[in-house]
Amino acid sequence: MSAQKWQATGELFREFQALGRASLLYDVQDSHSGNMAVRRTSERGEDEIVITATGSQKGDLEPSQICFLSATETDYGYYKASSETDIHARVLQLPGVRASMHAHVKDLILATLDDAPKPGKPPDFVPVDPLAWHHLGGGIPVDWFAVPSGSPELARTIPERLAGHPLTIIFGHGAMAKGRSLREAFFRLCVGNNAGAVVRAMEKLRVDVGAVRRAVAADPGRAFAFPPPAYDIEGDDRSDFREEEEILKEFVKAGHRIFESRLSPFHTGSMSVRGVDTVLYAPKASMPRDVGGPLLSVPLAVGPADDAETALHKAIYAASDFQTVMHCHIPEAEASAHYVYPGESAPADRIIPVDAEGSFLYLVIPILPPDVSAGELVRSLHDYKVAVVRGGGVWAVGAQSLSEVLHHPSSLREICLYRIGAVERGLDLRRMEPQKAKRW
């Protein structure tokens, strides 16, 4: 074998390294778990698979830990390649698939554990959040394997599942996703893990997850706000305002923080800054370091080609004097939007902080229904600066900077974590909430 075939260079290596670091930071890998693979045409015009080496640290990949294999021939010399190379190779043969990724998506795996006798087919995982429902479907396959890593059964079943689904779950082990690009595969894993985090938070809040699932299945249009934009694999390097160094820096910093603080899964959410007749807009707000996403300058006026997410940013500006808008998908907030106080029959219409800082910053945070109008959302944002839309994420506004608006979803996540922890410990939220909040 030639030495150069073990060396990944330039853009390809940077992509593997950046997504490896992001997966470790997002806690969907441990130090050595998981693997990534891409199918491409080599410089020699040959079809090849590029895959991470077995046992490599995805958060600290070296060029020598990227293996180049023939996509059509067995090469027994590449003993360093992942033990799951056969699975990736079969997945990469599926129509339209150019990348695959396996990760230890802990929240999703915990949400799918059961104590039923094995062997046996676990039930599909049914998401209750809008991101997973729209991007991954209403049922994600779960399979149990006697040998859940590198076995012939795994190599046969996983490609079969991914032929019809964007992501599939290996019971008690992890998940594998396909994609048109490595970023899309990572996006799907992060959205899947977020779906597990929502369900786990609901269970801690003692929400009837089964009832929520039945309501979603019966009428998704009523359970969720508008569908999120489809994932676009093009244009991540686009920047329409490179010369605006200060505002560019603010977008990059906010994007890093959204991802690192788990305010929204990879390449989800959006953020914008109002100009005179334009909007500076990031449609993939959650951006890890060294990955990035498109930074656009678009007309301030609503246009016929705008997707629902972009149009809502513009509608908020049209009805207000806000200067910044941010939209995130915080799993703890989505779960909290379904919380029902003991003795009551319907979910609460507000989140009341029980921690000191949260109570200082916000008396209450409103929870709005999925079909809330733009006008009602703007009125709530005028009064509270941040609002949760059940089945539609968290919206926040600012009068000056992205840093100002970022504070709202960041604080909201902590507020929800304290409330979830209190319920988990058996504490009475009503007794912990400030009395004045009840009159608000």
Q: How far apart are the first and last CA of the chain?
A: 72
- Look at residues 280, 330, 333, 286 and name the one whose alpha carbon lies nearest to residue 310: 280
pLDDT for 230 equals 96
Tell me the C-alpha distance between 325 and 93, whole Å: 42
SS3 content of the chain, % helix, strand, coil (to 5): 40, 15, 45
pLDDT for 140 equals 98
Ranges of beta strands (E only) in 133-233 are 142-143, 167-170, 174-179
The structure tokens listed for 156 are: 């046969």
The structure tokens listed for 108 are: 């999703």
Tell me the C-alpha distance between 220 and 297, whole Å: 33
The structure tokens listed for 310 are: 């972009």
φ/ψ of residue 34, rounded to 5: 75, 175
φ/ψ of residue 133, rounded to 5: -60, -45
Tens digit of each residue's pLDDT (9 = 90 or more) over 61-80: 888 888 888 776 654 444 45
pLDDT for 72 equals 67
Helix (H) or strand (E) holding 132: helix 130-136
Question: Can you list the domains of the chain with their CATH numbers?
Answer: 3-223 (3.40.225.10), 245-438 (3.40.225.10)
Report CA-CA distances (Å) from 382 to 231, 320, 372, 388. 31, 8, 15, 14
- Look at residues 245, 266, 236, 286 and name the one whose alpha carbon lies nearest to residue 11: 236
In SS3 terms, 4-21 reads as HHHCCCHHHHHHHHHHHH
pLDDT for 7 equals 45
Exposure class string for 113-143: b at 16+ Cβ within 10 A, else e: eeeeeeeeebeebbbbbbbbbbbbbeebbbb
C-beta atoms surrounding 147 within 10 Å: 9
pLDDT-flagged residues of the chain (< 50)? 1-8, 75-79
pTM: 0.94
pLDDT for 73 equals 61
pLDDT for 385 equals 97
